[in-house]
Amino acid sequence: MSDGYFLSQQQLKRLGNYNYKSVGSTLLDYVLQPFWNWLVRQMPMWLAPNLITFIGLVINIATGIILMTQNPDLHSDAPRWSYVLFAIGLFVYTNLDAIDGKQARRTGSASPLGELFDHGCDSVSCIFLVLATLSAFQFGGYQWFTFWHIFTVTLLFYSYQWRTYVNGTLTFNLFDVTEAQYFVIGTCILRGIIGPRMLDIEVYPNLSLLIVIHYLITAVEVYILLRTLLPITHEGVGKNGTTEAGTSVLSPGIPVIIIIVFSFLYARHSRIYPLVNYPALFGIAFSLPVSKYSILAVLAHMTKSPLPLLDSVMLGPLFALVNIYFGSLLDELVVLWFCLLYVCLNTLLASILICFDICNHLDIYCFRIKPVKT
């Protein structure tokens, strides 16, 4: 056995011994299981589980990009149809994502790649989920509200993978990703039906519904974040309470803190005021590195290997930040677009190489079900 393009020989060996463990269930799991069981039976037996997830993600991203192009500053009035279209796209992704594991068991094609692929797609979908919510409530007019929600939501998803890397078990809460997705679906449908009048409602004199919703969402975000992160300090399954790889249980927080600090400094000092003028562009360019780290955290958990504290994906935000501190030698908007292109290609290339290594090692296909040899 030799090293792969992305994974080492030792990582590939440990991957072969990986067993999925999870505890808990979400509130909507009980409600939607009959629908998901029916839906998976409509899938042809030749359809690979990862292809189901990928098709859903493409639809989710496409409808998300359409919404972002209609409201790039996240505080204008986007056409009502764009919100309904995004809600439909997210609904399709949410339910296709929910049945990929069922399809894997149904076709006998379950593998560690499926779990990694599922979580990787979820980490990217989360970005469009939060941007759509900001657009629906026109939070783009409040730049630090925007910053808070973008990075709190991406950090929330990362914290699930961080905790799993520490204790070896994926933990589901009553309010989880599925519930958040359906909240956004409902919000976008209401925004599409009612229009901007939804934001003019006053729940109390001089207290708008918009501000109430912001603080309610913030309270939920903080609660779930604390509930996920606080147990990390005492749940380590490695030697002396360390992670599965024998590293510090707090070390996975370092790379995300670096990314958030880069993002804050850029947003604070940029002359193009990205949180006001280009929040959607900024949100994708600076939160996608956190999504890549979610993928790396899942991989570290599955291979029981150290999570890298630095990664090449950080160079995109760093380059944008350095350009500012040298007096904006290059046009800042051009650099921001370059940052977006770089982090997208970096994350995509890493994902392709990881999938290629795992497929080669396990002798499987990513988007096809390998015929059983007779």
Which residues are the active-site residues? 119
The phi and psi torsions of 371 (rounded to 5 degrees) equal: -60, 145
Tokens of 211: 């501000």
Query: What is the CB neighbour count within 10 angstroms for residue 294?
Result: 25
Adjacent-strand bridge partners of 170 = 22
Looking up tokens 């912001």 gives 214
CA distances from residue 279 to 170, 188, 320 in whole angstroms, order as listed: 32, 18, 15
Please list, residue by residue across 220-229, b when 16 or more beta carbons sit within 10 angstroms of its beta carbon and e when fewer do. ebeebeeebb
Judged by DSSP in three states, 109 sits in coil
The counts of H helices and E strands in the chain are: 13, 4
Please classify residue 363 by burial: count the beta carbons closer than 10 Å to its beta carbon, then call 0-12 exposed, 13-18 middle and 19+ buried.
exposed
CA distances from residue 88 to 120, 181, 205, 228, 324 in whole angstroms, order as listed: 21, 11, 35, 30, 39
